[in-house]
């Protein structure tokens, strides 16, 4: 049987956007840029189209999808909003925040893993927003990669992983944030819960709501039971190369290791690092480190190393999101 042709990468021209919007309305898949990572989009109200997402990614149907909307007026068609949701929408939308709310019956059960809740976000990426308006549909879009692998932050990453499983990729340049959206559970607005840390911090959410937001629970979610939110599995975002985490890396540790091991620092170490030493940000800026994390893990995963050693981030805020991804990537 002949191999399927590779997906085509489209620039964000008006003509291409109109074409891709038509493909989405026809029930096809389109990989899309967002400010967080690249997503694999389908019409969120079309169960048959959304099933193609699960098939292309090899994603279990117990892992729900995030529904993306273009305008706040679209929220009521997807979910049952409350005052706390409107408060956070006013503060952070469009942007990298996903809100869990009771589901509107119009959303297929497949999208919500059969649960009566739904994850909703209004993205900030200008090309994705134009595509949403042209498609005139809410779009379900998890990360555009094979399930469990490192999330894609460029169109080339999408093509490398899903290039023979999908046909259309919209190129919006490298993702500006590089980590998936923050997810907050507002089904009970009196007790907001952070389910996945991201670039919008727990402190920022608590300040906007005027009440504490509880920390994410560390638990081993199984693929056999429905999850209220994506990003809850103990192992996720993972390279194929074994990943070992360290609270702090030093060049002395590198010197004691093997030449076929890679060492990934948060900040560039002083001196003249060996060729197997890498870093996420020259000065150790955590937002820069988060933006480069997945791309650097992909690079090292394809470089033939037998093991990757990675340093975790110190502090709160962005460090919480980086360390969440690293812990899941290193889980076995």
Domain spans of the chain, in order of start: 8-209, 243-330
pLDDT of residue 9: 98
pTM of structure: 0.96
pLDDT of residue 225: 85
Compute the distance between CA of residue 67 and CA of residue 93 in angstroms, rounded to an integer: 14
Residue 40 has pLDDT above 90, yes or no: yes
C-alpha neighbours within 13 Å on the C-beta side of residue 16? 15
Residue 220 has pLDDT above 60, yes or no: no
Angle at 47 between CA 66 and CA 154, to 5 degrees: 45
Residue 4 has pLDDT above 90, yes or no: no
Compute the distance between CA of residue 332 and CA of residue 114 in angstroms, rounded to an integer: 28
Q: What are phi and psi of 295, to 5 degrees?
A: -65, -40
Q: Are 263 and 309 in contact (CB under 8 A)?
A: yes
Residue 177 has pLDDT above 80, yes or no: yes
Average pLDDT estimate for 299-326: 96
Compute the distance between CA of residue 324 and CA of residue 182 in angstroms, rounded to an integer: 11
- b/e for 266-278, b at 16 or more Cβ within 10 A? bbebeeeeeebbb
Which tokens sit at 30?
Answer: 């389109």
**Which residue from 216, 190, 218 is spatially nearest to 202, judged by alpha carbons?**
216
pLDDT of residue 221: 52
Residue 219 has pLDDT above 70, yes or no: no
Compute the distance between CA of residue 87 and CA of residue 100 in angstroms, rounded to an integer: 14
**Which residue from 177, 171, 162, 213 is spatially nearest to 192, judged by alpha carbons?**
213
Beta strands in 97-242 (DSSP E): 97-102, 117-121, 139-140, 168-170, 182-185, 193-196
Q: Are 106 and 45 in contact (CB under 8 A)?
A: yes
| Pairing mode of beta strands 139-140, 39-43 | antiparallel
Sign of the dihedral defined by the CA atoms of residues 55, 60, 61, 66, in that order: negative
Q: Are 44 and 137 in contact (CB under 8 A)?
A: yes
pLDDT of residue 22: 98
C-alpha neighbours within 13 Å on the C-beta side of residue 59? 32
pLDDT of residue 316: 84
Choice among 154-158, 223-227, 247-251, 257-261 with the minimum mean pLDDT: 223-227
Average pLDDT, the chain: 95
**Alpha helix positions (H), 58-188:** 83-92, 126-135, 155-162
Topology (CATH) of 8-209 = DHBP synthase (3.90.870)
Q: Are 78 and 69 in contact (CB under 8 A)?
A: yes
Across-strand partners of 169? 9, 31
Q: Are 245 and 330 in contact (CB under 8 A)?
A: yes
Predicted confidence (pLDDT) per residue in 57-94, tens digit = 999 999 999 999 999 999 999 999 999 999 999 999 99
Average pLDDT estimate for 101-114: 97
Q: For residue 222, what pLDDT band results from cuts at 50, 70 and 90?
A: low
Compute the distance between CA of residue 295 and CA of residue 279 in angstroms, rounded to an integer: 11
pLDDT of residue 215: 86
């Amino acid at each position: 049987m002949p191999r399927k042709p590779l997906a085509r990468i489209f620039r964000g021209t008006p003509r291409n956007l109109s074409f891709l919007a038509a493909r989405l309305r026809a029930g096809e898949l389109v990989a899309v840029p967002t400010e967080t990572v690249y997503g694999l989009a389908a019409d969120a109200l079309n169960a048959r189209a959304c099933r193609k997402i699960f098939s292309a990614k090899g994603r279990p149907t117990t892992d729900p999808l995030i529904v993306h909307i273009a305008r706040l007026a679209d929220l009521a068609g997807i979910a049952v909003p409350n005052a706390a949701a409107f408060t956070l929408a006013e503060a952070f939308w469009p942007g990298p925040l996903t809100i869990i709310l009771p589901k509107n019956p119009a959303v297929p059960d497949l999208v919500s893993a059969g649960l009566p809740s739904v994850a909703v976000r209004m993205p900030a990426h200008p090309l994705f927003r134009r595509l949403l308006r042209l498609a005139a549909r809410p779009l379900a879009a998890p990360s555009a990669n094979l399930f469990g692998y490192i999330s894609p932050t460029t169109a080339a990453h999408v093509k490398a992983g899903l290039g023979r499983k999908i046909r259309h990729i919209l190129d919006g340049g490298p993702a500006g944030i590089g980590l998936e959206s923050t997810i907050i559970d507002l089904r009970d607005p009196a007790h907001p819960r952070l389910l996945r840390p991201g670039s919008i911090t727990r402190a920022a959410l608590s300040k906007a709501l005027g009440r504490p937001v509880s920390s994410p629970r560390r638990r081993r979610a199984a693929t056999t039971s429905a999850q209220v939110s994506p990003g809850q599995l103990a192992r996720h975002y993972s390279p194929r190369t074994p990943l070992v985490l360290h609270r702090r890396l030093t060049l002395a540790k590198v010197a004691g290791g093997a030449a076929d091991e890679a060492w990934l620092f948060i900040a560039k170490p002083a001196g003249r690092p060996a060729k197997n030493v890498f870093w996420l940000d020259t000065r150790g800026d955590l937002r820069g480190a988060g933006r480069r994390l997945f791309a650097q893990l992909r690079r090292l995963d394809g470089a033939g190393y037998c093991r990757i050693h990675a340093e975790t981030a110190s502090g709160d805020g962005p460090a919480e999101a980086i360390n969440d991804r690293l812990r899941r990537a290193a889980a076995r």
